[in-house]
Structure 1
Amino acid sequence: MSSTDNTQKKFPRTYWREIELPTFQSLDQDINVDVAIVGGGITGITAAYLLTKEGLNVAILEAGGILNGTTGHTTAKLTAQHGLIYDEFIHHLGKEKARKYYESMMMAVQFVENTVKEKGIDCDFSKQEAYVYATTDEYAAKLKNEWEAYKSLDIAGALKDSIPFNIPVKAALMMSNQAQFHPLKFLKALLEEAINAGCSVYENTVADGIEDDYQEPKVVTKSGQRVTAKHVIIASHFPFYDKPGLYFAKMYADRSYAIGVKTNQEYPGGMYISADSPSRSIRYTPLDNGENLLIVGGENHKTGQGVDTLKHFEELQHFTEEVFGINEYQYRWSAQDNVTLDKIPYIGPYTSQRKNVLVATGYKKWGMSTGILAAHLLTDLIVRGSNRFEDIYSPSRFQADPDLKSVITTNADVAKHLLKGKLEMIERVPDDLQNGEGSVVLYQGKRAGAYKDDNGTLYIVDTTCTHLGCECEWNHAEKSWDCPCHGSRYSYAGDVIEGPTHKPLGLLRKGEV
């Protein structure tokens, strides 16, 4: 099948979502609970499981459907090997904290392994070796430095000179005792246990704000209900309640892509990721019919920036065809991740003055191990008042030692794109569009965004992001409007897909041309 044919094919959103998940009603009344969790992904569901085991009354509020966010759009690697980080962490954090970071992630891997065994969860769990490989001399040298960091921190692994694929590598760094799994099968089992222990779940329930956040916080939904709680956990990927913490200024949004294919090659095992650019992630997952699905990911870029998004899928397809050969191209999906200033997630009290509101965000691209770690850390803070890893992940860590260089760099990029969108020369008009096409256009003398669906219905929106006023760009692959400044995303009709924004784009016109 050619690249062009594949761009026209209607792909399922993600392989992981092809299981039956329970559905839940939206919240239609005020309620009181011990812990309100905003977000039904890996952090929220794991935290609900752990908290209900402690005897607490828990409610999960999910804006859409459970497990339909980033958790359902992952490559599902369970690992402490988060790229080349440990040499950097030793220099910036010290050896003790770098080791604790590793231990915290290995705790998450071990939790999944132990839980799978104890409860007999069928979630395709398997132990794997994880590899970072380099195809250039520059990154081979960095791998050698990282290997020295591994030895210094007593991380089990090895430095090798090859991987079992037709990829010309200069070096490969292996970390032992890592794992992979089917995240939704695993989390579905945890959710069922939490519900049996009294957890309530509300889908299509949009959290819009928090009242009394210093004392007894109340989550206010968009439809007006209030959830009063002793503690609130914000596990909504990007914090829905952002004004006090200004998290949008301390993170940037990054998108990445993945495809799922069948190939004739026998997979040798292991999980692989490139150190160089463009990024490439490789793993397999077993299918129910005994075959394997090869998952190849990568092509990361800042949200709303870079080339036509569809080209990222095409590049992954070309790479996979060249290295493995494609028999059947079945799936493709993308994900958005938030990256913090120092590459370490924010997990803990929302601010130093708001101890009863807790947050977990900024997982970079390692949400499986980090999400589980976050659930344990936040559960310990709520139940026991402390956790041995809390100092590493504290969201308030920059109050004492702000990373000014990263703040300036991140927000200078925001300013650049804010200005670029305002000064852009626009030549296209809505009448130029073909069915299925979207673009920035000139409409009534102003910049706007237009999309014409397959039936010829035209949607024209104001492309000014409702968060802080940057101009959104068209995402061809997902048919969305993406903000290049802070990562807000909207549907072609202007509805909010992803925060930090809460308000839709203005719909200027809808109808037949």
Structure 2
Amino acid sequence: MPNRNETGYTLPGKAESYWVATTPESNYPALSGDIRVDVAIIGGGIVGITSAFLLKEAGVSVAVIEADRILRGTTGHTTAKITSQHNLIYDSLISELGRGQAKQYADSNQAAIDKIEYIVRSWNIDCDFSYKPAYVYAGSEASAQKILDEVRAARSLGIPASFEGDLPLPFKTYGSVRFSHQAQFHPRKYLCALAREIEGDGCHIYEKTRALGIEGEGPVIVKTDRGNIKAENIIQATRFPIVDKPGELFKKLKQSMSYVLGAYIEEPFPEGMFINAEEPARSLRSQPTEKGEMVLVVGDGHHAGYGNPTHEHYGHLEDWVRSVYRVRSIDYHWSTEDVVPEDNVPLIGRLTPDSEHLYLATGFKKWGMTAGTAAAMILTDTILGRDNPWTEVYDPSRSRQESQFSMEDVSGIEPGQGTVIEKGEEEKVAVYRDPQGVLYTLNPACRHMGCTVSWNDAEKTWDCPCHGSRYNARGEVIYSPAVYGLLEKRIRGQDKKPYSYTRDTS
């Protein structure tokens, strides 16, 4: 790779996000004086705008404040894939968090796809929404087994995943995982339409209004450079929270840069969205434009503040795309900065377990279109006092600490037998071993009111003595009032993949 400074390299195309360049500039007023609403939202990206939209629908008064203009930050510089396929993630989620929390992650992102499609259709939003399959491909033989593992893991969670051997790409691949019923869109066309629905009936969007701090505990006050907003609840929908109690969240988050080229190529682009399984990342998707089909070439990511000079990263992408396609022109280039959590799962929910009025959403790891929409759904439900089935996996206060129990503690459980094992006054685990010897370990707290379930040996069920909820041996609800199944609880030394995945990759 030649030194770009020495060769006089000029960055290709216009230095602007295509999404920003092709939508009108917003012009909402700044806050002027003090106001009061039910919910104050700091940050005018996909989380802030979608949360405000959903809360207003539920009859809640909201105020969104943005330090600059809405939808011009990370949301305005995204790749805009609407997908539950977040590179190769589900095999590792099952291994690290267990099948229960991995399924929460999968279900929430699948539901976000459906929510976006529903809003687009119901409000007749012209935003280039279209369904596309999403692929992660192995660019080397070394990644081929990871693809097979991901297919099996995703399918075990109910995701529409399959194995594809050959892809219509102009370079060799070694198999891929395909997710069907995924989508793409123009994010600013979509979200600007939502923003227009927020204004009015006691709801507001304020631009050029910077949050300076948060005070109080219900009502809470957001202090800004333009006045104060008093609210019952506050959502921090910024990249990093401006208030971090007790200062632990910043340790869990880091910043990552990525680069985008908007290119026009001679060849027709294949149907789908594509990303490789290796580093450096190479992501491809198309976008209809007035000039024809543009291909977004994305990748060359690195931690913010590190890496090569910026122009070299653009140069790497340009060299690569020109090596695989006949490029007519490159019309746009832009970079984006994303927040990556240490365990690769976003932080969504209450700031701390005892923060009844302070909420946040961050750490979407470059997959903010679905994760940000899921965050808005979770926060809306929580603020309205509704149960949401995905809160556990995203809990900002999670510790991911392993259970005190070990495999030795459950070695006496015979096939077909179940029991609740206790250690001390607090630590409990519900254990069942099926006739084939597969071990299921669950949190025995009933999902209705938290009472400890007991094993019904005659009917092979977990029964709650308080209000009659019942679960099958795997923890799935069979009788109400419980709505959600028992949560999985891992124990030390447990096989990371206790569930039998099918090897059918057709």
Q: What TM-score do you get using the length of structure 1 for normalisation?
A: 0.75
1:12 is the counterpart of 2:15 = yes
Report the alpha carbon displacement of residue 9 of structure 1 after superposing the two structures with TM: 5.6
Displacement, 1:247? 1.7
The one-character-per-residue Cα deviations of 1:239-273 (angstroms, maximum 9, x if unpaired) are 12235343211111111111101111111210001
Q: Which residue of 2 aligns with 1:260?
A: 262
The Cα offsets for residues 443-500 of structure 1, whole Å up to 9 and x where unpaired, read as: xxxxxxxxxxxxxxxxxxxxxxxxxxxxxxxxxxxxxxxxxxxxxxxxxxxxxxxxxx
Q: Distance in 2 between matches of 1:159 and 1:92?
A: 23
Q: What is the aligned partner in structure 2 of residue 249 from structure 1?
A: 251
Q: Which residue of 2 aligns with 1:429?
A: none
SS of match in other structure, 1:96: helix
The worse-fitting range, judged by mean Cα deviation, of 10-19 and 267-276 is 10-19
Q: Deviations over 1:414-451 (max 9, x none)?
A: xxxxxxxxxxxxxxxxxxxxxxxxxxxxxxxxxxxxxx
Letter aligned with residue 83 of structure 1: N
Give the superposition deviation at 1:399: 8.0
* Counterpart for residue 394 of structure 1: 395
| Cα distance in 2 between the residues matched to 1:106 and 1:7 | 41
**Aligned: 1:218 with 2:218:** no
Letter in 2 for 1:267: F
How far did 1:22 drift?
A: 2.6
Give distance in 2, aligned partners of 1:378 and 1:385: 10
Tell me what 1:287 maps to.
289
**1:258–1:334 Cα contact (<8 Å) kept:** yes
User: Is structure 2 residue 157 aligned with structure 1 residue 156?
Assistant: no
- AA aligned opposite 1:101: Y
Q: Name the structure where helix makes up a greater proportion of residues.
A: 1
For 1:254-308, what per-residue CA distance to the aligned partner results, in whole angstroms no more than 9, with x for missing partners?
Answer: 111111011111112100011111100100010135x111101011110001211
Q: 1:192 to 1:5 in 2, by over 3 A?
A: farther
Asked if structure 1 preserves the Cα contact closer than 8 Å seen for 2:253 and 2:340, the reply is yes
CA distance in 1, matches of 2:195, 2:188: 10
- Counterpart AA for 2:304: T
Instruction: Name the SS for the 1:351 alignment partner.
Output: coil
Equivalent-residue separation in structure 1 for 2:136 and 2:13 (angstroms): 33
Question: Which of the numbers 132, 138, 141 marks the counterpart of 2:136?
Answer: 132
- CA deviations on 1:177-207 (whole Å, 9 max, x unpaired) are 1000001000111111111444211111111
* Deviation (angstroms), 1:226: 1.4
Say whether 1:272 aligns with 2:274: yes
CA contact (8 A) 1:21 1:188 kept: no
CA distance in 2, matches of 1:86, 1:376: 22
* Separation in 1, partners of 2:325, 2:244: 44
Aligned to 2:64: 60
Paired with 2:400 and 2:286, the residues of 1 have a C-alpha distance of 42
The CA deviation string for residues 377-425 of structure 1, in whole angstroms up to 9 with x for no partner, is 00000112431111111101128669xxxxxxxxxxxxxxxxxxxxxxx
CA distance in 2, matches of 1:318, 1:225: 50
1:320 corresponds to which letter in structure 2?
V
CA contact (8 A) 1:348 1:393 kept: yes
Q: For the Cα contact (< 8 Å) 2:17–2:334, is it kept in 1?
A: yes
Q: Distance in 2 between matches of 1:79 and 1:9?
A: 29
Residue type at the aligned position of 1:86: Y
Once the two structures are superposed, the pairs formed by residues 91-110 of structure 1 within 5 Å of their partners are: 91-110=95-114
Is the 1:166–1:323 contact (alpha carbons within 8 Å) kept by the matching residues of 2?
A: yes
Offset from partner CA, 1:333-376 (integer Å, 9 cap, x none) = 11111111211100000111212010000000100001110011
Change (3 A) 1:16 1:224: closer
2:11 and 2:311 in contact (8 A); partners too: no
Secondary structure, in 3 states, of the residue corresponding to 2:30?
coil
Find the aligned partners of 1:173 and 1:400 in 2 and give their Cα distance. Answer: 31
**1:474 counterpart residue number:** none
Distance 1:81 1:241, change over 3 A: same
Equivalent residue, structure 1, for 2:487: none
- Matched to 2:233, the amino acid is H
Give yes or no for contact 1:156–1:176 (8 Å, CA) kept in 2.
yes
For residues 12 and 232 of structure 1, do their structure 2 counterparts lie closer, same or farther at Cα, with a shift above 3 Å needed? Answer: same
> What aligned pairs does 1:112-127 form with structure 2 within 5 A after superposition?
112-127=116-131
Higher deviation after alignment, 19-28 or 348-357: 19-28
- State whether residues 245 and 350 of structure 1, in contact with CA within 8 Å, keep that contact through their aligned partners in structure 2: no
Seen in structure 2, the aligned counterparts of structure 1 residues 355 and 261 have a Cα distance that, compared at 3 Å, is same
> Residue 376 of structure 1 corresponds to which residue in structure 2?
377
Q: Distance in 2 between matches of 1:271 and 1:33?
A: 41
Kept in 1, the 8 Å contact 2:11–2:314? The answer is no
- Contact persistence 1:231–1:382 (CA under 8 A): yes
The Cα RMSD (Å) is 1.8
Contact 2:223–2:229, Cα closer than 8 Å, also in 1: yes
The alignment's TM-score, normalised by the length of structure 2, stands at 0.76
Equivalent residue letter for 2:188: L
**1:78 shift after superposition:** 0.2
Q: Is contact 2:78-2:336 (8 Å) kept?
A: yes
Mark the CA change 1:276 to 1:8 in structure 2 (over 3 Å): closer, same or farther: closer
Asked if 2 retains the 8 angstrom alpha-carbon contact of 1:53 and 1:197, the reply is no
> How far apart, CA to CA, are the structure 2 residues paired with 1:6 and 1:35?
49
- In structure 2, do the counterparts of structure 1 residues 98 and 331 end up closer, same or farther at CA, with 3 Å as the change threshold? same
- The offset of 1:161, in angstroms, is 2.0
Aligned to 1:329: 330
Aligned to 2:408: none
Q: Which has the larger Rg?
A: 2
Q: Following the alignment from structure 1 to structure 2, what is the Cα–Cα distance between the partners of residues 51 and 401? A: 36
Is the CA contact 2:12–2:331 (under 8 Å) kept in the aligned structure 1?
no
CA distance in 2, matches of 1:224, 1:77: 36
User: How far apart, in 1, do the equivalents of 2:219 and 2:200 lie?
Assistant: 27
Counterparts of residues 98-497 of structure 1 (less than 5 Å): 98-212=102-216, 214-221=217-224, 223=225, 225-242=227-244, 244-289=246-291, 291-398=292-399
SS of residue matched to 1:374: helix
Aligned residues: 398
Q: Counterpart of 2:277 in structure 1: which amino acid?
A: A
> Within 2, Cα distance between the matches of 1:133 and 1:153?
20
